[in-house]
Structure 1
Amino acid sequence: MYKLYMKSRELFTDGWNSFWHVLLGIFSIRFLAIVPIFVIYQLIDFYDKNLFVDIAEFFIGFFSINFVVFILNSCKIKHYLIDESFYKSVFPKYF
């Protein structure tokens, strides 16, 4: 029988492992295939006590880079991360 509550580690306290989770989240802005691959890879060991911490670190990287791109686009600052055509191709109903 599995315990219902297991103490997991704090965010960003796993050294290089946490670094790679955030970095993969940042890279996934250009390569969207990383998102399902990462989530499925994490779900392989569903009973890992740090599962949700690892996924949270990934999505912190993902949403933080999306926020940076949003700010750059709002301020009309030229960058080479992604542009509005990328969002139109991924979310055609919303743009």
Structure 2
Amino acid sequence: MVDLEFKAKFLFSAGSIYKAPPLLVKTVLTSEESKGTMKSGRGIRLDEEGKCRLVGVATVDPIDDFIMNSFLGLPTECLAELNAVISLSSSS
């Protein structure tokens, strides 16, 4: 089982005409199952090659921008998915 804390800021702009405040996404990505009220996802556990699929559901809160809040229907949920290869090394 793999759990990874995920924090990200997403920036949207339309050239120099419009720039929205960052959207903040914070969740735990897991190789297990992640469920919200609207979205859900199932990860894939680490295999012998170190490959896994991590998923996490996060609530995206409204920002100080009426246009983006309306366009995205904030607050809402998002599903984050990450295909990863994890390698572990032992210190000698």
**TM, length-normalised to structure 2:** 0.25
Greater relative contact order structure (CA < 8 Å, 6+ sep): 1
TM-score under structure 1 length normalisation: 0.25
Higher normalized strand content (fraction of residues): 2
